[in-house]
A and B are shown apart, each in its own frame.
Chain A
Amino acid sequence: MKLTQALKMAAKSISANKGRSALTMLGVIIGLAAVIILVSYAQGQNLAMRKYYESMGENTLDVYAYSWDGSVDVNEELYNYCQRISDYVAGVTPNGRAWGVSISYGVQTLGEGNSYGGGIMIGGGGIMIGGGGGNYVEPPTFYLGNDQFSVCNNYTLARGRDISYMDIERLNQVCVLGASVAQSLFGMIDPIGETVTVNGMPFTVIGLYAPKGNGVTEYNESGDNWQEVAMSRMDNIVVFPHTLTRILNENQSIDEYTVKARDSQSTRMAATLIKSFMEGVLGDNGYVDVYNQTVYQEEEDEANKLQQYFLGGIAAISLIVGGVGIMNIMLVTVTERTREIGIRKAIGAERKSIITQFLIEAAMICGIGGIIGILVGYLGTLIVGKLAFKIVLIPGAGITVGAFAISVALGLIFGLYPAAKASRLQPVEALRAD
C-alpha cells in the first residue's frame, strides 16, 4: 500500500469518527495549553522580578558612610576612590533625600502637604475645579545626587541634559524630573527649560528621565503587586544637585551613596575595596557600611526558581492528565479498532499497512491537537501576562517545542500501542473482539 493511500485512509478514519478524534485532540490540547501557560507564568514571574531589579539598578552597592566630626569629606573621598577603581566601578552618586519639599508649576503643586494632585488650584481666573477629582497622588521623592545619579540608578534621559559637575560646583538651581512628575506638572507641555518653584525658589528644569514603570502613577492600595507600584514610584522623582542640600535640606549631610559596579563579579570586589578604603580613611572618626543588593537579588532568584519548579511540576501533571485522557480514549475504542484491524487483515492488509495507517492517524490527531493546543496556550499566556504582570508575555520556544513533542509522543504511543498489539493477532482473534 502506498503512503498516499495510508494518508487518505487515516484522514477518512479521523473524519468518520469525529467524536473520538475530537476527544483525543482535546486531551492533547488541554495538556499542551496547560503546560505552556503554567511554565510561561513562572517565567513571567521571573521576568517581572528581573525587570524590577534591573529598573532598581543591577549590580549596585548602597554605601552608608559618615564622618562624626566632619573632618573627612566623605563624598569627595568616595568619588575620587571610585574613579581610581573604575575597572570595577561605573559610577557613584550621593543618594540623599530632601524632605519637606514641594514643587509647583503654574497651578499644580506636588509634594509635602500638597499631595492632592489638581486638588489645590489657585487659578488666575478664580475658577477652581478639582481636576483630579481628589485623586490621591503620591508625593514625589526628592533626591540629591550628582552627575552620575542616572547611571547609578539606571535612569535614561528622555530629553534635555543631566545634572553636570558645574551645576554641583556652582549650586545651580536646576532639577531633572522623573516621567510621572513631569506628566503631573506639565501634562502635554515640554518641561525642558521651564521654571518651576521649589520651596518658593525658582528652579530650571534641565532634563527628563524616560519612564521605568508602565505609566501607572496612582498608588493603588487595593493591591496591584508591589513590584509594579514600586516601579511606578521610581518615575515619581525629582533630582537636584546634591550640594543644594544647603537650601533644600537644612544643610544636612548626605550619608548614603549608590555605587554602580561594572558587572556582578565587580560588585563583590568593589564592595570589599570600598569598605576597606573608607574604613582606612575614616578610622575612628566615622562609620562605613556597604550593602550589596546582588546578594538579595540572588536569594530572590533562588526563591523564584523554586516556584518555577513547583509550577513546572503542576504542568507536568497536567501533561500526564492529558496523556491519560488520550490513553483512555484509545483504550475505549480499542475493541472497535481491534475488530477493524481484524477485518482489514482478513481482506489482505499486511501488518505494515495497518501500523502505517494508525501511525499516520495518531500523528494527524496529535499534530492538529498540538497546533490548537499551542494556539490556546499562547492566547492564555498573553492573557495571563496581561492580567498578572501587565506585560506582553510570550511562551519560550523551548517550552513550546518541548511540550508539543511530548504531547505528540504521548498520542503516538497511546494511539499506536493498541493498533500494534491488535495487528499481531491472527485475523480471527482480532475479529472475535467485542
Chain B
Amino acid sequence: MLIDIKNIYKIYNEGLESEVRALDGVSLQIDRGEFVAIIGASGSGKSTLMNILGCLDIPSYGDYSLDGTDVTELTDRELARIRNREIGFIFQGYNLISALNAYENVELPLIYQGISILKREDLVMDALERVKMADRAKHRPAEMSGGQQQRVAIARAIAARPPIIMADEPTGALDSRTGRHVLEILHTLHEEEGTTIILITHDNSIAATAHRIVRISDGKIVADSKNGGDLQAEVAREGGAGS
C-alpha cells in the first residue's frame, strides 16, 4: 500500500463556536500506480485532503502511512525530503516563482535535492520537452499564458521523476482545450511511467477519465468506486449532463 490514511481529522478552531471540521474522519488507501480522482463540491474538504496527503499540512488527528513510513512522526526536515523526492505538486494557481524563468522554476526542486548542475540540465530540459515548453525555457511566468504556466508547473512537478503526482484542480484556471491537454500529459505519465496520480477536481468530465473516483462531502468520503457501485458511470453521466 503506497498511501494509507486512517481516521484523519482536520479541525480548525477546535472547541470554539466557529469550529470547522474540514476533514471528519477520513480513511483512504491508494495503491502504487493508481489514477485516482477526488471529487466534491467546493468546501467539501478535497483540497485539505490533498494537502495532508502531500505533506503540505498536518492533520489534527489520525494516522498516515506513506510507503510504510509513519508520516505523522516525521520532522520538518524529513517532510521536506518527502515533498522533494516522493511527490510532485501541481496547483490550481500554478505557484511558479515570478522572479524566476521557466527553466529556473523547474530546476528548483532539483537544486534542493542536491543534483549536480549537468544532470539538472538534462532533467529540466527533458521535463520541459514532455510538456512542450522547451522553447519557452527563458520566459518568466508573467510572459506566459495560463496554460503555458501550468505546463511549466507540471514540468516542475515531474522533473525529479517522483513516484506520486498530486494535482489540485490543475485545469481549474484553464479553458477546456488547454485543460484537456494538461490532462493528457497526466495520463501519459501514468501510462508510460506508472506514476501514481491523485487528481482533485470538481469537474466530473475530467474525473470520469480517472480509473478510480473518490467522492468527498462535508469532510467525509461518501463514495469510492473501488468499493463497488457504478460511480464511474454515474460521474460520466453527470459530466455529460453538465457539459
Seen from chain A, the residues whose Cβ lies within 8 Å of a Cβ on chain B are: 1-2, 5, 9, 12-13, 16-17, 339-340, 342-353, 426-429, 431
Contact = CB atoms under 8 A, between A and B. Distances in A.
Contact of A346 (B56, B58, B77, B111): B56
A348 B81 contact: yes
A2 B109 contact: no
Contacts of B114: 1-2
Interface of B: 51, 54, 56-58, 76-77, 80-81, 83-85, 89, 91, 95-97, 99-100, 104, 108-109, 111-114, 156
Contact of A12 (B51, B95, B96, B100): B100
A12 B108 contact: no
B76 A347 contact: no
Contact of A347 (B57, B58, B104, B109): B109
A421 B81 CA distance: 20
| Interface hub of A16, A342, A347, A426 (most chain B Cβ within 10 A) | A347
A343 B56 CA distance: 10
A332 to B, nearest CB: 16
Given A347-B108, A350-B77, A350-B112, A13 B89 contact: no
B111 A351 contact: no
A351 B97 contact: no
Contacts of A350: 76-77, 80-81, 112
Q: Which 6 A-B pairs have the closest CB atoms?
A: A348-B84, A16-B99, A347-B109, A428-B57, A428-B56, A427-B56
A423 to B, nearest CB: 9
Given A347-B89, A348-B109, A353-B112, A431 B83 contact: no
Contact of A348 (B57, B104, B113): B113
A351 B81 CA distance: 11
6 contacts: A1-B112, A343-B96, A344-B112, A347-B109, A427-B56, A431-B91
A280 to B, nearest CB: 88
A426 B80 contact: no
B44 to A, nearest CB: 17
B104 A431 contact: no
Contacts of A2: 114
Contacts of B112: 1, 344, 347-350, 353
B76 A427 contact: no
B192 to A, nearest CB: 23
